Chain A
Amino acid sequence: MAQPKTAVVRSDLDIVIARTMARDLAKAMSFGAIDQARIATAVSELARNIFLYAGTGKVTVKEIDKSGRKGIEIVCEDQGPGIPDVDLVMQDGYSTSRGMGMGLPGARRLMDEFDLKSQEGVGTRITCRKWKSS
């Protein structure tokens, strides 16, 4: 299995780099075109959130294996302000920046597994996975 890859996010250009990195791994793992788009789009949303709300952070992508089933895991972490109310931010349309408020709930829909851990003043860590349909 390939080594995990990490992209540091501190500008809007890094959002493109992070999503391209995720798509490249998905492609190398022969995910289909639609899954590649889902994965790249989810990473685009999460990386933009790092850039917008935490200023800086990182995105790591890696191949995972659960009893023979292959998947991709994406971890997005930052040491930003954290999220006080996780249920609230997972609602469609909730935004503190006059955004669409579709990033987090949308990324959850696009991926198979989605886990958000956040602590105010400490940071946010989102782990999401997509499994290959066998």
Chain B
Amino acid sequence: MDSLRIPILKIGDILIASIQVSLHDASAVQFKDDLLQKIYDTRARGVIIDLTALDVVDSFIGRLIADIAAMAGLMGTRVVLTGLQPAVAITLVELGLELPRVLTALNLEKGLSMMQRLTEESDDGPA
């Protein structure tokens, strides 16, 4: 079966991906590859991944998200996760998985303004 592709939108220099379906492992890996390729191609400064629809984040998906954040970081791209359900966040911690260095925001709107602040801050650096 073909894995479902998760659409990745580009707005300005920010990429937005909203995961709307239950991810199976192959589609999750496909998403990671697509997203990293898109970051590379577009030189996006930030990526927002909206997880509102995800009701399970197990160690496989957790690691994948951590990997995306680490690799995006190497390309100078910030990652913000939005919409992580409280039950999912609690379960992740109990599972033993924390997502250090991954920024989170309550929803897509807050994620966007967080991203704007972050990318503006890095503009203010020494000339």
Contact = CB atoms under 8 A, between A and B. Distances in A.
A102 B57 CA distance: 13
A124 interface: no
Interface residues of A, number: 26
Interface size class of B (residues with CB under 8 A): 20 to 34
- Overall SS of chain A's interface: helix
Interface in B17-63: 22-26, 55-60, 62-63
Contact of B55 (A15, A40, A105, A110): A40
B24 A102 contact: no
A41 interface: yes
Contact of A45 (B22, B55, B59, B86): B59
Given A16-B24, A23-B56, 19 more contacts: A20-B22, A33-B85, A34-B91, A37-B88, A40-B55, A41-B56, A41-B58, A48-B25, A92-B96, A99-B60, A100-B60, A100-B97, A102-B97, A103-B58, A105-B96, A106-B94, A106-B95, A109-B94, A109-B96
